[in-house]
Structure 1
Amino acid sequence: MTDPIYFAIETGGTKLLARLVRGNATVAEARWPTTTPDEATAALLAFAEGAPVTAVGIAAFGPIVVDPTAPNYGEVLATPKPGWTGANLRAALARQLGVPVTVDTDVNAAALAEAAIGAGQGCGSVAYVTVGTGIGAGLVRDGRTLGGALHPEMGHVPVLRLSGDDVPSACPFHPSCAEGLAAGPAVHKRIGDGRLQDLSEDFAAVADYLGQLFATIVLAWSPHRIVAGGGVLSVPGLRDRAAERMLAALGGYGVGAAAGAPCFVAAPALEHAGLEGALLLARRAAG
């Protein structure tokens, strides 16, 4: 009897990643630009054609319905990504492949992977934060991700503006949320035509807003570690500075041994944490 084949998928705002795995060995990998839901479904089905897939795991951009008991489980809610509002890749693949298909947010899946095989190994709870075009955060505790009526949207928690910072928010919904003031579009408002690395010369405001976000995560979720990545955090020193500002925002309250540890805010250890998390979801879906 041959080992089962698991199908892992990560959907992003600009690209789709896919991997077929038999046992612990990768059978095939592929990537495509994110276009329309119909084209994504066709590409994924063609990629898996002929493979005896046992189960599928999807790490998806949101907002998306992640409650397995919901009748529209897997449906993408209102999103600026053209054509994706109301799409349900999970349902389409389940219908065509006839196997279990499970979905979670890309950040929840990444948290799952970093906790199991990455920078969060040995920690009972791990928060994963990505700071790129937007800001997303997920949490895994004892192997289970956090979900509810929807899923965490920590990028939109309010932050206190620094005195004198009058750069307009890049968020169309909030004048002073973390995403509006510290994600990629907000950073580019600050540096104009400069390169992202130019931010390293003066990133006090961005570091402070990310530090406030990390402090909120500590107070709301109390993780044993925060794994923080994404394009904005590739700026040299920004992650460490944000960790310092986190401690300042906490003011010594409830810090404890975890948040005060030097490695509490860590860089991701996995290149494609979301895809690795999708593989874990597929394995679980297979039972």
Structure 2
Amino acid sequence: MPNPIYLAIETGGTKLLARLVRGNATLAEGRWPTTTPGEAIAALLAFVEGVPVAAVGIAAFGPIVVDPAAANHGEVLATPKPGWTGANLRAALARQLGVSVTVDTDVNAAALAEAAIGAGRGCASVAYVTVGTGIGAGLARDGRTLGGALHPEMGHVPVLRVAGDDAPSSCPFHPSCVEGLAAGPAVQRRLNGAALQDQPETFAAVADYLGQLFATIVLAWSPHRIVAGGGVLGVPGLRARAAERMLAALGGYGVGAAAGSSEFIAAPALENAGLEGALLLARRALG
């Protein structure tokens, strides 16, 4: 198909993004609040009305079924986001538009984009971590992302609590996962309106939990670089302190391969890495 038009979509906890692209030119962009699946589908169909879309890529929040062989491919699994459990945006758009719709997690898509055109360019494997309303991580290796029956859910890996930290977890599933102890809602609950950088003990605890997460990623995935972003990591000095705690958690094991480099943990280079990754997924669908 000469000069096809692609639709890239990113679904987030608070916003829904879309972009229509032909070649290297952006034809239109859309942004809506994340409300219900039905409203999301209606907004997207109105956005592309009359446009001959050739393929669609979706970077989605999880948990979501990413296995193309699964009967419920694209279905959102149990989630605290009201109305989204059981929703399947991929299937609805494929049915309505009659084109290939590829879905992956937002963090896997972001890893793909940062590896191709962002902070991980030149690295064979790139892990992407976001620390915001939730915590997620994805991996891109040689242009492909990590997935199986499910997908990476690194935000829910257990971490060892810092001595004296008995703050309740904000995760409805786990008492001591990194998301429950160091994502945005957990941090805000600890601070009671104060700034994280002004609360040394809380700052140190959050950095320690994120450092443990980074260490787990090093041991499980062995990436050449970790690109780490999200609102919480925008706090001055937190990314660097978490990198220090990662090295402490590793205890010197395996750091010579990549993790010991000062460039190993990097800030994102792309403003909307998930949406850029969704575009790459759409392009790949047409080869």
Distance 1:31 1:196 in 2: 30
Cα deviation code 1:183-203 (max 9, x no counterpart): 111101211122455457851
Any stretches of 5+ residues in structure 2 without a counterpart? none
Q: Partners of 1:200 and 1:61 in 2: how far apart?
A: 32
Equivalence for 2:34: 34
| Stretch of structure 1 that moved more, 202-211 or 270-279 | 202-211
Q: In structure 2, what is the equivalent of residue 153 of structure 1? A: 153
* Matched residue, 1:13: 13
Query: What is the one-letter code of the residue matched to 1:92?
Result: A
Q: Which residue is 2:231 aligned to?
A: 231
Per-residue deviation, residues 82-138 of structure 1 (Å, max 9, x unmatched):
111111111111111111000000000000000000000000000000001110000
Separation in 1, partners of 2:149, 2:202: 39
Q: Which runs of 4+ in 1 moved over 4 A?
A: 195-202
The DSSP-based 3-state class of the residue aligned with 1:93 is helix
8 Å Cα contact 2:19/2:29 also seen in 1: yes
Structure 2 counterparts to residues 71-86 of structure 1, below 5 A: 71-86=71-86
Q: Is the 8 A contact 2:129 2:226 kept in 1?
A: yes
1:146 to partner: Cα distance: 0.3
Corresponding position of 1:173: 173
Aligned residue for 2:236, secondary structure, equals: coil
Are residues 1:129 and 2:129 paired? yes
Conserved in 1, the CA contact under 8 Å of 2:12 and 2:60?
yes
Cα deviation per residue 1:213-263 (whole Å; 9 max; x = unaligned)?
A: 000000000000000000000000000000010001000011123100001
Q: Please give the TM-score of this superposition, normalised by the length of structure 1.
A: 0.97
Letter in 2 for 1:96: Q
Judge which range, 222-231 or 176-185, deviates more: 176-185
Instruction: Report if aligned partners of 1:162, 1:205 keep a CA contact under 8 Å in 2.
Output: yes
Write the distance in 1 (CA, Å) between the matches of 2:52 and 2:196.
44
**Paired residue secondary structure (1:259):** coil
RMSD: 1.3
Listed as ranges, the matches of 1:1-287 within 5 Å are 3-195=3-195, 198=198, 203-287=203-287
The amino acid that maps onto 2:149 is A
Once residues 160 and 42 of structure 1 are traced to their aligned partners in structure 2, the CA distance between those partners, rounded to angstroms, is 44
**Residue identity matched to 2:48:** A
Distance in 2, matches of 1:200 and 1:141, equals 37
In 1, are the aligned partners of 2:190 and 2:202 still within 8 Å (CA)? no
Any gaps of 5 or more consecutive residues in structure 1?
none
